[in-house]
Amino acid sequence: MTTGADSLREQVRDRYAEAARRVDEGSGCGCGTTCCTDGMAEDGCCGDECCGGGKPSDFGQALYTAAERDELPESAALASLGCGTPTAVAELREGETVLDLGSGGGIDVILSARRVGPTGLAYGLDMTDEMLALAQRNKETARVQNAIFLKGEIENVPLPAASVDVVISNCVINLSTNKAAVLTEMARVLTPGGRIGVSDVVAEDRLTPEERAERGSYVGCIAGALSKGEYEAGLEAAGFIDVSVTFTHEVADGMHAAIVKATKPEGGTTTLPLVKSARSGCC
């Protein structure tokens, strides 16, 4: 039996599969490029393809520096649909192991692999075959050896407990239909003292779920976004400390791209909550 959550997940999968196909065909241009004008499609480009359908400067490759874009294959930059630069947010260090949730075309995995160096490792996790194939090709073009792409869902990460130092994600957690499970999985796979550095769309606390839905679609990264208070409460319930959610720029009325940071406590096992549905409780 297909549930509403299953239907939303398939809509998200289809949307990102199509984005990958467009890059492969040479007809996709990603977000933040000159063919996007104030979120309006031009010759079929962008529009709702950009998360939130916002201004081109709010999403995608425009948020990366010219130096970062120069490190990447063009197709990795063109496939970028995110709302921030989590590799900078997480302040990656040599020798660390990094996991990117919802890695798409591999832009943040490639950048992470280079930041952590040959003694480090960068994992990318995605549920979309087309994006995984694109990411693998981008990895080979970039000649990056210390990156591994995994197929799976961010609510059920196919890695053992305490296996990564840093979890990053770029405008993907808002797309999950069970965000409590995602936060729990981040805590599970992190080593004690590990940290998260996430870019995501986050709502002001004043907006109800219904008001968020009025501002954009679920697959457009708006309707499913947590509020600032919900994000903070969800991370604390998952056992994180030093939680912060900082707005960076507005992408719709009362909706913001945000930097989300938190740390798993040192010297002990995080107490993980029972995973609740995205439609109940804070997440």
pLDDT at 264 > cutoff 70: yes
Mean pLDDT of the chain: 79
Alpha-carbon gap, residue 149 to 18, rounded angstroms: 19
Q: Is 62:56 a contact under the CB 8 Å cutoff?
A: yes
Instruction: Output the pLDDT for position 69.
Output: 54
The 8-class DSSP code of residue 144 comes to: -
pLDDT at 183 > cutoff 60: yes
User: pLDDT tens-digit profile of 130-169?
Assistant: 999 999 999 999 999 999 999 999 999 999 999 999 999 9
Task: Answer yes or no: is 281 within a domain.
Answer: no
Instruction: Output the pLDDT for position 164.
Output: 98
- For the chain, how many structural domains are there in total? 1
Phi/psi of residue 143, each to 5°? 55, 45
Task: Answer yes or no: is 83 within a domain.
Answer: yes
Indicate the pLDDT class of residue 215, thresholds 50, 70 and 90: confident
Residues 6+ apart with CB under 8 A from 35: 29, 42, 43, 45, 46
Task: Answer yes or no: is 270 within a domain.
Answer: no
Task: Answer yes or no: is 22 within a domain.
Answer: yes
Instruction: Output the pLDDT for position 224.
Output: 87
Instruction: Output the pLDDT for position 42.
Output: 35
Instruction: Output the pLDDT for position 81.
Output: 59
User: Which range, of 18-22, 102-106, 128-132, 199-203, averages the lowest pLDDT?
Assistant: 18-22
Instruction: Output the pLDDT for position 273.
Output: 43
Alpha-carbon gap, residue 154 to 169, rounded angstroms: 10
User: pLDDT tens-digit profile of 225-249?
Assistant: 999 999 999 999 999 999 999 999 8
Task: Answer yes or no: is 273 within a domain.
Answer: no
pLDDT at 8 > cutoff 70: yes
Task: Answer yes or no: is 127 within a domain.
Answer: yes
For strand 241-252 and strand 190-203, is the pairing parallel, antiparallel, or unpaired?
Answer: unpaired
Indicate the pLDDT class of residue 219, thresholds 50, 70 and 90: confident
Q: Which of 66, 126, 96 lies closest to 197 in space, CA to CA?
A: 96
Indicate the pLDDT class of residue 5, thresholds 50, 70 and 90: confident
CA 249 to chain centre: 16
Instruction: Output the pLDDT for position 48.
Output: 45
Alpha-carbon gap, residue 252 to 161, rounded angstroms: 37
Overall average pLDDT of the 34-49 stretch? 37
Task: Answer yes or no: is 32 within a domain.
Answer: yes
For strand 97-101 and strand 190-203, is the pairing parallel, antiparallel, or unpaired?
Answer: unpaired
Indicate the pLDDT class of residue 83, thresholds 50, 70 and 90: low
User: Which range, of 63-67, 82-86, 88-92, 210-214, averages the lowest pLDDT?
Assistant: 63-67
Overall average pLDDT of the 105-109 stretch? 90
Indicate the pLDDT class of residue 4, thresholds 50, 70 and 90: confident
CATH number of the domain within which 66 lies: 3.40.50.150
Task: Answer yes or no: is 128 within a domain.
Answer: yes
- Residues making up the chain, counted from first to last: 283
Domain that holds residue 148: 4-263
Q: DSSP states of 231-272 as a string?
A: HHHHHHHTT-EEEEEEEEEEEETTEEEEEEEEEPPSSS---P
pLDDT at 93 > cutoff 60: yes
